Amino acid sequence: MLANRYMPDDDVCPVGEELLGELYSASKRGLPSLAASIPPRVRATLALYCYRRSHLHAMGLAIAATCEEDDLVREGGRVGANLFARSREAHAAQRLAALEPNKRKVTLASGQLRVMPPLDDAPDDDSE
């Protein structure tokens, strides 16, 4: 059983480079359907693989959101259970963000705000 468990030192991607590239370039909406085409245990291993790499972290969460908790726990133990919980939190946060009304964005001025008169060292004529 331990041989099937995900080992963090594994640097071998559980899917081919071509499929990993397709997943990487897939839109956020297309990623779940593409991930669903991967067998459940391989998908769980892939979610764990991606999650521990900083540039694939978000993709790992998205793939984990398509996994069953049992598969993630079987492949990753406590790490898999944690990944399952975090993927559900991230998914819920995305849904809440989609429900919020669009707020106006803050913009910064692009031109000069005030014209300052030049400072003269010469005395004024009114002071006499």
Domain range annotation of the chain: 16-96
Q: How many Å apart are CA 64 and CA 62, to the nearest integer?
A: 5
Q: What is the pLDDT along the chain (128 residues), one digit of tens a residue?
A: 444 555 555 578 888 888 888 888 887 778 888 888 899 999 999 999 998 888 888 889 989 999 999 999 999 999 999 999 999 887 666 665 555 666 677 777 777 778 878 887 666 666 55
Stated pTM of the model:
0.64
Q: How many Å apart are CA 41 and CA 44, to the nearest integer?
A: 5
Name every residue whose Cβ is closer than 8 Å to that of residue 48 and which is 6 or more positions away in sequence: 6, 60, 64, 72, 75, 76, 79, 80, 83
Cβ atoms of residues 10 and 17 within 8 Å: no
DSSP letter at 5? S
Helix axes 40-51, 78-99, angle to 10 degrees: 80
